[in-house]
Amino acid sequence: MLKTNRTLPAAVLAAALTALVAGGAFAQSKGGGKIVCWKDKAGKVVGCGDSVPLEYQDSATKEMDSRGVTRKTTETAEERAKREALDRETAAQKAEEKKRMAEQSRQDAALINTFSNDKEIDLKRDRDLQVVDTQLTQLRVQQKNAVDRTAELKKRTVSEYNKEELARADSDKIKAEQGIVAKEQEKEEIRKRYAAMKDRYNLLRGGGSPAPTTAAAPAAPAKK
* Per-residue confidence (pLDDT) for residue 221, from 0 to 100: 60
pLDDT digits (tens, 9 = 90+) for 68-109: 666 677 766 777 788 889 999 999 999 999 999 999 999 999
pLDDT digits (tens, 9 = 90+) for 169-205: 999 999 999 999 999 999 999 999 999 999 999 999 9
- Output the DSSP codes for 27-83: GGSTTTS-EEEEE-TTS-EEEEESS--GGGTTS-EEEE-TTS-EEEEE--HHHHHHH
Average pLDDT over residues 22-44: 60
* Per-residue confidence (pLDDT) for residue 214, from 0 to 100: 46
* Per-residue confidence (pLDDT) for residue 50, from 0 to 100: 78
Q: What confidence category does residue 121 fall into, taking pLDDT thresholds of 50, 70 and 90?
A: very high
Domain ranges of the chain: 10-74, 86-205
Q: Which residue has the higher pLDDT, 10 or 192?
A: 192
Q: Which residue has the higher pLDDT, 210 or 56?
A: 56
Tell me the H-state helices in the chain: 10-23, 77-114, 118-155, 160-205
Alpha-carbon distance 71 to 3, whole Å? 21
Rounded to the nearest integer, the mean pLDDT of the chain is 78
Q: Which residue has the higher pLDDT, 150 or 63?
A: 150
Residues 198, 218 contacting (CB under 8 angstroms): no
